[in-house]
A and B are shown apart, each in its own frame.
Chain A
């Protein structure tokens, strides 16, 4: 992970031109998002694209608290589920407009995260990891057993898509087709990415990293570590909740099994394989892990073994994940380029 901070320095030291290149990267991302549904026209691939966008949100949300604040949130599956169920129930049972339900679902997931973290943030990181794992187990049990509210294992069916956006000078944008739904989720993922990125480039980034590196030192500099850990935890939970709000109308069906603890492990795998402590790494990690099963369909259940193995191997041999591998490749390329130039 030391490469991470070097990277940060390079960005920082080279100053002004970087701002431009950041704008360029966001424009590039927007352009790619715009083009993807035009390239992938089958509903099979568009469905996968939407899943990628949702998983990118889940992964960068977890990375914010794990890679930067150094706290393991194993409750992402639960916060994802809270967002999905809360927004859906608000729409279907209380008739609240989708966007208000989206805001409420996000806030509820974030609040649940903040509340949970308050129990354990004063202790070592393991306590928070286990408390959040326990929370994931409990939330799943509640979704399963509170049948009058969630219909338990039978699930909630026929969840409507978000209402069309009708802006005065544009044609109505309905979300009944997959391309538009992808634009919607991908835009949200991009906005979430931008907001997290902004926070990490502000003093919050240094504060969280300081807590990750040494809490006692951080406190000696005036940092209220429990407060900031709770903040990072809440932010990560809120992002998972937001992703859940889109998952429900996308799939159209909600069953508790979608939010079982193993989902938390899948999100963890995206972050680890992508490279924790960078935002872009886990984003690619999410895409990689989402599409991998599609590519590896032929090997069936063995792919899950591969998935666990990749987490372990990355931690052991390439803790920076895809990003570290990419940097190594790039260094080597530059090296060869320089060699051939001289």
Chain B
């Protein structure tokens, strides 16, 4: 029994840390722009397919595939910001950019569907079938890699936001764009940088998710709905909260699969989302901000 719990705990960390990577991107963008990029899902999908193409068509190693996914994600993120968010910023609408990116998402999904078809791709990496035994527990090298790469990225990002000048500048823009501008911080460039970082993370998590997930043009969408739940549970724009909530959702997923029914995962996650909204609307770790008038 204990070994089952431990095993599912590990599985939860694997999937949870990937969710954290995707959700962190959403939360970073929300932090500086107070906007949601719905096409974030398709950046994940694109990353997965970029890695697949690199390894399966061009015969490169998985590590090169991850790098390709990272670059593809960053490029698409840059494009989405340049074509959607930048032009819409002056209009100051809360919902128009979200709606526009829903359109982008429909477009990208169906473009990929037309190109790649609905049948799931079998994304094998040399690490997928290599199983490590730790006592009574099993861990594929792929999962090990996922944990290592994603926790390294999360720690790097966290350190970047906390301790570097650029990270602090990003947080300054998040707090108050006008004042940041007065301090000589170019918020447009920083917003672009945020998009590129967030999307690179999403692309990379796509490459890591590809072998774990059912890889179809809709793969990103199933991830993004949970990522949305995570950013709300953790508190929009709150990095620590997002990390905790992401792992929590990972555990919910693995334990629900083990002890209840995989069909209930979304239901449990959403129930937690509603509970959060009812009890602590600003997220698990409260980040109280009052609007300045």
Chain A residues engaging chain B, CB cutoff 8 angstroms: 66, 70, 72, 119-120, 122-127, 129-131, 133-135, 137-138, 141-142, 144-145, 216, 262, 265, 268-269, 272, 301-302, 304-305, 307-313, 315-316, 319
Contact = CB atoms under 8 A, between A and B. Distances in A.
17 contacts: A125-B94, A129-B95, A130-B232, A131-B274, A134-B225, A134-B228, A134-B273, A135-B270, A141-B263, A301-B110, A302-B114, A305-B107, A308-B106, A308-B109, A311-B106, A312-B101, A312-B107
A156 B236 CA distance: 40
Contact of A305 (B114, B264, B273): B114
Given A265-B102, A301-B114, A305-B114, A126 B94 contact: yes
Query: Could you say which of B87, B111, B277 has the most chain A C-beta atoms within 10 Å of its C-beta?
Result: B277
A225 to B, nearest CB: 13
A130 B114 contact: no
A176 B221 CA distance: 40
B90 interface: no
B277 A315 contact: no
Contacts of B267: 138, 141-142
A230 B103 CA distance: 26
A154 B211 CA distance: 30
Interface string B66-89: 000000000000000001100110
Contacts of B169: none
A310 B36 contact: no
B277 A268 contact: no
A313 B96 CA distance: 11
Interface residues of B, number: 47
B263 A119 contact: no
A127 B277 contact: yes
A22 B273 CA distance: 45
Interface in B185-228: 225, 228
Nearest to A220: B293
Interface in B90-108: 91, 94-96, 98-108
Contacts, number: 127
Contacts of A319: 91, 96
B270 A134 contact: yes
B183 interface: no
Dominant secondary structure of chain B at its interface with chain A:
helix
A319 B92 CA distance: 13
B263 to A, nearest CB: 4
A331 B269 CA distance: 51
Contacts of A125: 94-95
A24 to B, nearest CB: 34
A157 B180 CA distance: 61
Contact of A131 (B107, B277, B282): B277
Query: Could you say which of B30, B91, B100, B102 has the most chain A C-beta atoms within 10 Å of its C-beta?
Result: B102
A315 B100 contact: yes
Given A119-B274, A131-B273, A301-B114, A265 B94 contact: no
Nearest to B113: A301
Nearest to B87: A316
B270 A308 contact: no
B103 A312 contact: yes
Nearest to A305: B110
B229 interface: yes
A120 B278 CA distance: 8
B100 A130 contact: no
Query: Could you say which of A123, A126, A309 has the most chain B C-beta atoms within 10 Å of its C-beta?
Result: A126
B103 A304 contact: no
Contact of B107 (A119, A133, A308, A315): A308
Contact of A312 (B30, B84, B114): B84
Interface in B226-257: 228-229, 232, 236
B26 to A, nearest CB: 10
Contact of B88 (A123, A137, A308, A316): A316
Query: Could you say which of B107, B111, B264, B269 has the most chain A C-beta atoms within 10 Å of its C-beta?
Result: B107
A315 B87 CA distance: 11
A311 B103 contact: yes
Interface string B265-281: 01101100110011001
Given A130-B232, A308-B106, 6 more contacts: A123-B281, A131-B277, A134-B228, A305-B107, A312-B101, A316-B84
B123 to A, nearest CB: 23
